C-alpha cells in the first residue's frame, strides 16, 4: 500500500459515507426507509439495557 496511514483512514471513512448514502437511497427508493428506522429504534432500545 502506498500513502500515509492517515490517508487510508480518510479513504475508509469516505467509502463508508458513500456506502451509507447508497444504502439509504436504496431503502428510500424501495419504500423501506421507515421500516429500517423502526428496526434501528427497536434495536437501540433493546440494547440500551446492555450499556447499564
Is residue 45 classed as helix, strand or coil in its secondary structure?
A: helix
Q: What is the pLDDT of residues 13-44, one digit of tens each?
A: 999 999 999 999 999 999 999 999 999 999 99
Is pTM, for the whole model, over 0.85?
A: no
pLDDT of residue 48: 83
**R_g (Cα) of the chain, nearest Å:** 16
Domain residue ranges of the chain, discontinuous segments joined by +: 5-47
Tell me how many degrees the CA angle 39-34-20 measures, rounded to the nearest 5. Answer: 80
**pLDDT confidence bin for 49, thresholds 50/70/90:** confident
Each residue of 4-43: b (16+ CB within 10 Å) or e?
eeeeeeeeeeeeeeeeeeeeeeeeeeeeeeeeeeeeeeee
Amino acid at each position: 500500500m502506498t500513502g500515509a496511514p492517515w490517508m487510508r483512514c480518510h479513504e475508509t471513512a469516505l467509502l463508508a459515507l458513500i456506502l451509507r448514502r447508497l444504502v439509504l437511497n436504496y431503502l428510500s427508493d424501495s419504500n423501506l426507509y421507515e421500516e429500517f428506522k423502526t428496526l434501528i429504534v427497536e434495536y437501540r432500545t433493546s440494547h440500551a439495557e446492555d450499556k447499564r
